[in-house]
């Protein structure tokens, strides 16, 4: 009996097993990649609304100068837990959900390679976030030391929630590592015959590379949170200068994880827009192989730029120059990607469906985030911008109009495939336009606040920043409420409506470039002949 036969019989057994189970048991025990993908997506959306509610508290406090709604300690708890939930609870599980749903179908596999591991890697997540959120109701409150949990704020001066925080982060990390191993094994071992690596859809490629990044950096995070734990409760002094430790070492270890982590949150986004843009441009993706190499280069470079978060810690001039140039170098493969997306749309027969609108917004606004990142890469300039709202504007342009918009593009693109029904087009356009306008009202003025010197993570501010902050808060509340439209679209779509076609996004030319892998060569001077 070959391994394949064993695998098939195992799957038949599992499917049969799933078929008999109903209600909650079906979801608890399922090994079906589509069910697990759906659970990841719902979980991430619930976490997104939870983290969003915390952002609303932050913006309500900052609506005008002075302390009005919450005390500074609770404000810091909000900023910390908002960051942790959005990174580990909303963006990453959403991408993992999309990967679970789509990768087996894109490579022609019956399921993920390790279906039970898949189930477990999802089900430990709700427990991790329950532990994190439980800390609000115990002792002196939730973590208040920022999502980067710098020592000694998270060790010597922590409010007693460090143990909860560390335990929660460990469980999230275990989930991520298991999910990543599953993706790597599935892609390497279960591709359909004839699908070589350079014929894989770009969505699969970006996830393949992201999974390697996860396996490489999650143990670093596990190591640094364990050191924080022992410093806090077991008398070690990794980060305590009095005992021979060094708080700056914390930053080095944390950012060695943290910088690849931000690419873990954006590479899958590149895969999604590389899938949607060719479809709605009715053209194959421009420069497939350069996209693959660009993704791999970004992943490699992400490991050697970590100290650009630390220019103000006082490193040698050579160190500053090295990290400055390496950071600027990352702009090159990223620029290649943006060029390829624009070239794909160039002279294409574009139709502006909702996934395409989110993808185009992604390309434009992510580029703005990239430019502000290039500004922060310059050492002397970073001295001025460090820890101001300019940095907040930068990474929210990358992670909200970048990662989040691409998740919406993917969700709208695949919803008809997932549910069998077409989503409400008018409502989805409302969601897009409300989100687009409010997100720019929310984050664009932050650039000016930061350049004028407003520090981040502080609940009060000087009178000169009042007008901008009022507009930013209005944008924040508008953006938060706009996301409820998306919830309405999804629920309406699941309940039924217009049946979706077998080829949902069939183009006007009768072509559907759903797989952005190399297509037959022609110049597109005139439409290709269709048999």
What secondary structure letter does DSSP report for 455? Answer: B
Q: Which two tokens stand for residue 214?
A: 């996860």
CA distance 248 to 389: 23
Residue 45 near residue 98 (C-beta atoms within 8 A): no
Strand partners, 421: 499
Cα 215 to Cα 211, 218, 293, 313, distances in angstroms:
6, 6, 20, 28
Asked if the bond preceding 152 is cis, omega within 30° of 0, the reply is: yes
The single residue listed with the structure tokens 């469980």 is 171
Residues noted as catalytic: 82, 111, 147, 175-176, 259, 261, 263, 274, 308-309, 334, 337, 456
Residue 185 near residue 150 (C-beta atoms within 8 A): no
CA distance 133 to 142: 7
From its phi and psi, is residue 235 left (phi > 0), alpha (psi between -120 and 50) or beta? left
Backbone angles phi, psi at 392, to 5 degrees: -60, -45
* Helix, strand, coil abundance in the chain, percent, nearest 5: 75, 0, 25
CA distance 467 to 471: 7
Q: Which two tokens stand for residue 166?
A: 């560390």
Which among 224, 261, 228, 209 has a CA at the least distance from the CA of 99? 209
């Amino acid at each position: 009996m070959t391994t394949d036969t064993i695998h098939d019989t195992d799957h038949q057994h599992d499917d049969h097993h799933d078929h008999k189970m109903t209600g909650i048991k079906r979801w608890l025990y399922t090994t079906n990649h589509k069910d697990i993908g759906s659970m990841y997506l719902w979980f991430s959306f619930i976490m997104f609304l939870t983290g969003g509610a915390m952002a609303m508290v932050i913006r309500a406090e900052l609506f005008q100068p002075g302390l009005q709604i919450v005390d500074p300690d609770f404000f810091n708890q909000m900023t910390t837990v908002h960051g942790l939930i959005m990174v580990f609870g909303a963006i990453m599980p959403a991408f993992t959900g999309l990967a679970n749903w789509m990768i087996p179908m894109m490579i022609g596999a019956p399921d993920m390679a390790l279906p039970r591991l898949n189930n477990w890697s999802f089900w430990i997540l709700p427990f991790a976030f329950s532990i994190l959120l439980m800390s609000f109701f115990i002792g002196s409150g939730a973590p208040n030391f920022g999502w980067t949990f710098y020592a000694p704020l998270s060790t010597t001066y922590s409010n007693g929630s460090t143990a909860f925080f560390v335990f929660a982060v460990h469980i999230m990390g275990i989930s991520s590592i298991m999910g990543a191993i599953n993706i790597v094994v599935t892609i390497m071992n279960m591709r359909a015959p004839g699908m070589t690596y350079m014929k894989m859809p770009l969505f699969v490629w970006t996830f393949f590379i992201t999974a390697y990044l996860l396996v490489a950096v999650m143990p670093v995070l596990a190591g640094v949170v364990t050191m924080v734990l022992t410093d806090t409760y077991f008398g070690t002094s990794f980060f305590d200068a009095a005992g021979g430790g060094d708080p700056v070492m914390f930053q080095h270890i944390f950012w060695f994880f943290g910088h690849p982590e931000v690419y873990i949150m954006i590479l899958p986004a590149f895969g999604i827009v590389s899938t949607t843009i060719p479809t709605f441009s009715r053209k194959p993706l421009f420069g497939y192989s350069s996209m693959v190499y660009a993704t791999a280069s970004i992943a490699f470079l992400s490991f050697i730029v970590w100290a650009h978060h630390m220019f103000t810690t006082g490193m040698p001039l050579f160190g500053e120059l090295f990290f400055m140039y390496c950071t600027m170098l990352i702009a090159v493969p990223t620029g290649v990607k943006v060029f390829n997306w624009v070239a794909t749309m160039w002279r294409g027969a574009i139709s502006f469906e909702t996934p395409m609108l989110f993808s185009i917004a992604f390309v434009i606004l992510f580029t703005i985030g990239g430019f502000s990142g290039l500004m922060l890469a310059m050492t002397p300039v970073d001295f001025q911008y460090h820890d101001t709202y300019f940095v907040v504007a930068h990474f929210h342009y990358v992670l909200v109009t970048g990662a989040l918009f691409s998740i919406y593009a993917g969700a709208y693109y695949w919803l008809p495939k997932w549910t069998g029904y077409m989503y409400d087009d008018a409502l989805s356009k409302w969601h897009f336009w409300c989100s687009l306008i409010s997100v720019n009202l929310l984050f664009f003025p932050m650039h000016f606040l930061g350049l004028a010197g407003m520090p981040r993570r502080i609940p009060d501010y000087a009178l000169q920043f009042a007008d901008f902050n009022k507009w930013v808060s209005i944008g924040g509340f508008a953006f938060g409420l706009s996301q409820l439209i998306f919830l309405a679209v999804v629920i309406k779509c699941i309940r039924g409506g217009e049946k979706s076609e077998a080829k949902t996004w069939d183009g006007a030319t009768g072509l559907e470039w759903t797989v952005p892998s190399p297509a037959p060569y022609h110049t597109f001077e005139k439409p290709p002949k269709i048999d």
